[in-house]
Amino acid sequence: MTKLTKTKLGTTVAAIALVAAGAAGAEPRTNMLHQWHSGANAEAIQVLGEMYEAAGGEWNQTAIAGHTSNTIARLRADVISGSPPAAVQLKGPEIGEWASTGLTANLNALAEAEGWEDVVSAELVSVMAPHGEWVAAPMNIHRIDWMWASASAMDAIGETELPTTWDQFNDYAARMAEEGIIPVAHGGQDWIDATLFEVIVQGISTDLYRDAFVDLDLDALQGEDMVAAFDQLRLMVGWMDPAFPGRGWEEPLNMMAQGEAGFYFHGDWAIGTMNAAGYVYGEDYLCAGAPMNSGEPGYILNSDSVVFFEQSDPDFIEGQALLASTIMTPDFQTVFNVAKGSIPARMDVELGDEFNPCQHRSLADLQAATETDTVVLSMAHNMSVPERFRRAMFTVISEFITSDMSSEDAARAMAEAVINEY
């Protein structure tokens, strides 16, 4: 795990010392509810705990294993019992829904004092400050639409440049299959299925993605372009090995990096795992944005953030200010994201050599996609639609992958699943 240098630590403590000196006699403390229970994710959250304690706070955490829905279920139980946690890892529409309850803490004074709106990526400001009130602090920007490729598999088919359209990808995959290489590494869990599918949809059409996965437009959900996206998914299922059902996300990552499989589509937290395993960019794996038939740059954005709930205990109130301010320091944004594989949510943080080449590419691609208006929020990772719609679409996507359902039937089922959740 990346450790904090003495210089960075001193800078961080100085930057947030005034925040911790708020209410007389208060001793800042927190208990953060999150889902980073293992691997590189657990190491990354440990960075936050170390920095929080170094700044004078008492750090406690509650890690919930499994799906995001497990964390949300725990949060609801705590709220119902009258003891909402001081800080919770939440994303996207869930932030706005909780803010609408009146139970979240108002961070506007802190945000204004530290100039958050001037430095946070524009795509995230409305997410973190729904209804004009800051209730959350963004920790990072994850890119979902990464195409990871085995360097040895690319060598086997004599290609040096990664495919940029789905037709070109299909050609590469077919040639890898002829060489005895599994073209597509995949894990068999619903959120992994949905991650692959949203990458395909964005590559088919950004307009389709927005209409279907942001606006929940019924015509788009069951239209010709969605059928084409399911057709592409069906091809990719045919290129997966038979053992994928039920598999997690790290095994297919290793299959790709070790050359057993050619391609893997997954978010950039894969970087933290590959760094820990000793895989080297350019030698073991390559990276690029997933194919975009339009020829424009694409970017599916996900962001981990911490939402703060109102507290009555002065220690926890001061702890919230200290935690939010710690998260927003350039030092934390650097150290945390180097460990996690993402890039800072602050656009004023310069990426140095400690960042992986793929992280540098992520920032460049984000800037390019912002200029062409092709940045979209992730459906699969809790950023674009409420949980009930997301889960309904997950069910259809996974059923399609594990059955002989036609693309037309899948598109209709997707629309029907959304209708049933209204």
Domains of the chain: 2-142+303-355 (3.40.190.10), 146-297+386-421 (3.40.190.10)
**pLDDT, greater one: 153 or 1:** 153
Side-chain half-sphere exposure of 415, counting CA atoms within 13 A: 16
Give 375: exposed, middle or buried? Use CB within 10 Å, 0-12, 13-18, 19+.
buried
Tokens of 110: 């802190």
Q: How confident is the model at residue 7 (pLDDT cuts 50, 70, 90)?
A: very low
What is residue 65's predicted lDDT score, i.e. its pLDDT? 82
Could you count the other beta carbons within 10 Å of the beta carbon of residue 137?
Answer: 26
Where residue 25 falls among pLDDT bands split at 50, 70, 90?
low
In this prediction the pTM is: 0.89
Is pLDDT at 244 greater than 70 in this prediction? yes
Strands 299-302 and 261-265, bridge-based pairing: unpaired
Confidence of residue 5 (pLDDT cuts 50, 70, 90): very low
Q: What is the mean pLDDT of residues 315-319?
A: 97
Query: How large is the average pLDDT for residues 286-309?
Result: 97
Q: pLDDT category, 345, cuts 50, 70, 90?
A: very high
76-85, 166-175, 212-221: range with lowest mean pLDDT = 76-85
pLDDT value for 171: 98
Count of beta carbons in the 10 Å neighbourhood of residue 230:
24
| Residue 217 predicted with pLDDT over 60 | yes
> Are 312 and 188 within 8 A, CB to CB?
no
The beta strands (E) that lie in 126-167 are given as 136-138, 142-143, 146-150
Give the per-residue pLDDT at 137: 98
Q: What is the pLDDT of residues 54-106, one digit of tens each?
A: 999 999 999 998 767 788 889 999 999 999 999 999 989 999 999 999 999 99
Kindly tell me if the per-residue pLDDT of 12 is higher than 80. no
What whole-number distance in Å separates Cα of residue 156 and Cα of residue 160?
10
For the chain, the average pLDDT equals 92
Secondary structure element (H or E) that encloses residue 168, with its range? helix 166-178
What is the tens place of the pLDDT at every residue in 395-417? 999 999 999 999 999 999 999 99
Q: How confident is the model at residue 233 (pLDDT cuts 50, 70, 90)?
A: very high
Q: What is the mean pLDDT of residues 271-296?
A: 96
Q: Can you tell me the mean pLDDT for 150-156?
A: 98
Contact 304, 381 (CB under 8 A): no
In this model, does residue 392 exceed pLDDT 50? yes
What is the mean pLDDT of the segment spanning 226-243? 98
> How high is the pLDDT of residue 13?
41
Residue 294 has pLDDT above 90, yes or no: yes
| Model confidence band, residue 18 (pLDDT cutoffs 50, 70, 90) | very low
In the chain, pLDDT over 90 holds for what percent of residues? Answer: 85
Cα separation, 327 vs 9, whole angstroms: 13
pLDDT (mean) for 157-185: 98
The mean per-residue pLDDT over the stretch 110-134 comes to: 94
Structure confidence at residue 39 (pLDDT): 74
